[in-house]
Amino acid sequence: MAKVRRKAPRRSDAEDLSQPSRWRKQHGDFSPPTDVIDPVDGRRIYLRRATDMLADMERRQSIDKAMRDAGDRFHIAFRAAALGGISTTNLLRESRSSGDSLTERMMAARRRLHDALDALGGMDSVAGCCAWYVLGEEMSIREWARREGWRSRPVHHVVAQGVFIAALGVLVSHYRLRDGESHEVIICTES
C-alpha cells in the first residue's frame, strides 16, 4: 500500500501589503489609515502617514508646539546645509570647471546651523551633540545615547531624553519662539 503524502500546511511568509513592512515599522509609527478615492481609476486606496519623533513627543505632551517647531527649524537648516549622511546624485550631469561648490542657500543654512549649535554650547557640548545626531542625522534618542552619548561614552536613555528636551528648550529661546511669536516653520525652496 502506497503512502499518501499530506500537504504541509502553507506558511504565510508573504507580507501583508496593506500594512507597513516590519523594517519600516522599526523606524517610527504611522497614523491610522485614511481612505481616499484614486482620481485616476476611482478605486479606494488607504494612505498612512509616517509620524516623526517630534510629532510623537508633542502628542504625548513631552514637548510643546514651540519645542517641536524649534526642532523642525534645526532639522530644516541641517538638511539645507547638506551636512547629513544622505546624499543624492545629480541626474543631469553637467560638466563644470569647479568641484563641489556651495550654494548661497547652503552657506546661509550652515550659518544658521552654526548659530544654533553655538547657542547649545557648540558641537562639543552634550546638547549640541544630541541635537546634531537626533535632530540632524535623525538618529533615535536611545540610539544616540547608546552609540554616541557624551564624549563617546554611552548615556542612560532617560538622561538622554532629558538632554534632548533641554536642547529643544534652548533652541526655542534661540529661535525666539515664545511670547506670542510666530511658530511657523518657513521652508525656503529657492536655490
The 10s digit of each residue's pLDDT in 105-121 is 889 999 999 999 999 99
In this predicted structure, what is the pLDDT of residue 190? 45
Question: Which of 53, 71, 59, 77 minimizes the C-alpha distance to 172?
Answer: 71
Task: State the average pLDDT for the chain.
Answer: 79
Distance of alpha carbon 25 from its chain centroid, rounded? 14
Percent of the chain residues topping a pLDDT of 90: 36
In this predicted structure, what is the pLDDT of residue 55? 86
Q: Are 114 and 144 in contact (CB under 8 A)?
A: no
- Distance, in Å, from the CA atom of 15 to the CA atom of 147, rounded to the nearest integer, reads 31
Over 60: is that where the pLDDT of 100 sits?
no
Q: Are 123 and 129 in contact (CB under 8 A)?
A: yes
Over 80: is that where the pLDDT of 11 sits?
no
pLDDT digits (tens, 9 = 90+) for 120-142: 999 889 999 999 999 998 888 98
What nine digits make up the cell of 178? 515664545
- pLDDT grade for 165, boundaries at 50, 70 and 90: very high
- Distance, in Å, from the CA atom of 105 to the CA atom of 188, rounded to the nearest integer, reads 9
